[in-house]
């Protein structure tokens, strides 16, 4: 065996001379293989079982909160060079993912489902999984590709949740079925170009790494992202060749990923479309379905819109909402935001207290319409920073009088730099 000094001398004697012809042959070969590989790619739908998780983020309403975004960093991957600059830009993934209207996810969730639904007014859920467990989910985007319009989720023990934009059904393993009003479960913003565009604007809080999947050898791009407004930490994984998002993890702490993630999504499959049957649910007779009242149409909730234009009414209720949040008037928040009527003071404090406490509504942008009601872009001064968030206001006619309530937010809050 040669000594260390001999090896060093040999290494110093090695010389490489550039050769344009060789470079061109290597480049042409690589481009040919890439073209062939891209041409042969196919999205393979998952094997569906025999039967078939934004909105505010909080422990008691995690179905609405934690399901805004769900995806994952695969455990079979390893980093090879943290300092490397990958031949990838988020704009490439935005372009690659912009037209997918349907997605399938599978992975592991770590949270208390019982606590989540108790916050919505469902008290007896002995058949619902306590916390950890594998799940599958199918989702379809709305017309604007901004958020989900249909979601179906299967939990351990054959517990099924099927949700639209204004109504959801929860079916337990024993057949007990609940009809829940409101925006129970959604992915918001839609995890393709909409989500990635928002993340791109907040680029000061993310870091990119380059690596390979140990199982397949495919090159991956890993992104770590902190959302200080939502107090969440994410790890995304993109395929370097297809540019598609392939997994994601989410923690409920923006500072560091400690402990198991709330969502560990290990598989993502994209579809241009899925049949309606995928989102169907076998419901019992209407008389056997248990309604869960959310006071969206209760005249004791909301604010009068009599004599006001829609823009005036939206500004009035959102200004009052910010004032109630600034004062930590939780009963006042519940009256203006009926979907939070079952939330405890602790849950509301986590949503609207601390650094997330709205101090003042600074500006109302150009209103645009949704199926539920006007969407109002609001610039809000928080305790430590400014954000822009799109709020949905629902208008009602009760006993011949016009009134409105805050329904939920639409999309992800954006920081004002």
State the pLDDT at residue 337. 93
Tokens 């913003």 -> residue: 189
Sequential DSSP letters for 102-125: EEEEEEEE-S-HHHHHHTTT----
Are the CB atoms for 315 and 364 separated by under 8 Å? yes
Cβ neighbour number for residue 320 with a 10 Å cutoff: 17
Strand 167-171, strand 102-109: pairing: unpaired
Are the CB atoms for 374 and 391 separated by under 8 Å? no
Could you give the maximum distance between any two Cα atoms of the chain, in Å?
A: 95
Strand-pairing partners, residue 369, are: 374
Interhelix angle 193-201/90-97, nearest 10 degrees: 160
Domain with 311 in it: what CATH number?
3.10.450
Domain boundary among 287, 319, 337: 287
Q: Which pTM was predicted?
A: 0.61
If asked whether residues 138 and 166 sit together in one domain, one would say yes
d(CA 270, CA 101): 8
| CA 218-221-227 angle, 5° bins | 150
Helix, strand, coil percent values for the chain (each to nearest 5): 25, 30, 40
Domain with 185 in it: what CATH number?
2.50.20
Number of domains in the chain: 2
Task: Give the 3-state secondary structure of 165-197.
Answer: CCEEEEECCCCCEEEEECCCCCCCCCCCHHHHH
If asked whether residues 278 and 382 sit together in one domain, one would say no
For residue 187, which of 123, 260, 138, 129 has the smallest C-alpha distance?
Answer: 138
d(CA 239, CA 88): 10
If asked whether residues 250 and 360 sit together in one domain, one would say no
State the pLDDT at residue 118. 59
d(CA 139, CA 334): 29
If asked whether residues 333 and 408 sit together in one domain, one would say yes
Are the CB atoms for 128 and 300 separated by under 8 Å? no
d(CA 32, CA 334): 60
| CA 223-227-233 angle, 5° bins | 55
Look up the domain containing 122 and give its range: 62-287
Are the CB atoms for 147 and 186 separated by under 8 Å? yes
Domain boundary among 253, 287, 321: 287
If asked whether residues 360 and 310 sit together in one domain, one would say yes
If asked whether residues 85 and 231 sit together in one domain, one would say yes
State the pLDDT at residue 55. 31
pLDDT in tens, the chain (417 residues): 444 444 444 434 434 344 444 444 433 444 444 344 333 333 333 333 322 233 333 333 333 333 333 333 333 333 334 344 445 777 888 888 888 999 999 999 876 666 566 555 565 555 555 556 788 999 999 888 878 889 999 987 788 989 887 788 989 888 889 888 766 677 877 877 667 777 767 655 778 888 888 888 889 988 888 876 667 788 889 998 899 999 989 887 767 677 888 889 999 999 999 999 999 999 999 999 988 777 888 999 999 999 999 999 999 999 999 999 999 999 999 999 998 887 778 878 877 888 778 899 999 999 998 888 999 999 999 988 898 999 999 999 999 999 999 988 887 778 887
State the pLDDT at residue 377. 94
Q: Is residue 45 part of a domain?
A: no
Q: Is residue 23 part of a domain?
A: no
If asked whether residues 329 and 397 sit together in one domain, one would say yes
Domain boundary among 287, 315, 332: 287
């Amino acid at each position: 065996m040669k000594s260390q000094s001999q090896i060093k001398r040999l290494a110093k004697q090695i010389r490489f001379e550039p050769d344009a012809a060789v470079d061109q042959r290597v480049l042409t070969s690589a481009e040919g293989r890439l073209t062939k590989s891209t041409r042969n790619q196919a999205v393979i739908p998952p094997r569906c079982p025999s039967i078939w998780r934004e909105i505010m983020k909080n422990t008691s309403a995690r179905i609405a909160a934690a399901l805004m975004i769900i995806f994952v960093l695969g455990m079979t991957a390893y980093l090879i060079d943290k300092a490397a600059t990958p031949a990838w830009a988020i704009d490439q993934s935005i372009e690659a993912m912009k037209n997918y209207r349907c997605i399938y996810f599978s992975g592991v969730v770590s949270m208390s489902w019982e606590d989540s639904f108790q916050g919505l007014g469902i008290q007896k859920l002995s058949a619902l999984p306590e916390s950890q467990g594998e799940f599958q989910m199918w989702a379809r985007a709305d017309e604007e590709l901004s958020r989900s319009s249909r979601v179906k989720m299967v939990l351990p023990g054959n517990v099924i949740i099927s949700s639209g934009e204004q109504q959801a059904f929860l079916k337990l393993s024993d057949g007990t079925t609940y009809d829940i009003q409101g925006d129970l479960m959604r992915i918001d913003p839609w995890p393709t170009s909409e989500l990635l565009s928002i993340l791109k604007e907040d680029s000061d809080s993310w870091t990119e790494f380059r690596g390979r999947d140990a199982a397949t050898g495919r090159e991956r791009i890993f992104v770590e992202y902190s959302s200080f407004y939502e107090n969440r930490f994410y790890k995304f994984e993109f395929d370097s060749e297809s540019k598609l998002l392939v997994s994601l993890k989410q923690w409920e702490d923006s500072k560091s990923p400690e402990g198991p993630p709330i969502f560990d999504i290990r598989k993502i499959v994209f579809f241009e479309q899925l049949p309606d049957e995928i989102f169907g649910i076998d419901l019992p007779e209407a008389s056997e379905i248990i309604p869960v009242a959310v006071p969206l149409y209760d005249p004791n909730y909301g604010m009068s819109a009599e004599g006001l234009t829609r823009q005036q009414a939206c500004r009035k209720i959102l200004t009052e909402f910010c004032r109630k949040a600034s004062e930590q008037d939780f009963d006042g928040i519940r009256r203006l935001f009926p979907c939070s009527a079952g939330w405890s003071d602790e849950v509301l404090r986590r949503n609207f207290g601390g650094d997330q406490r709205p101090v003042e509504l600074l500006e109302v942008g150009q209103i645009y319409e949704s199926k539920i009601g006007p969407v109002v872009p609001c610039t809000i001064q928080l305790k430590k920073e400014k954000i822009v968030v799109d709020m949905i206001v629902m208008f009602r006619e009760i006993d011949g009088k016009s009134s409105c309530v805050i329904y939920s937010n639409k999309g992800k809050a954006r920081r004002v730099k």
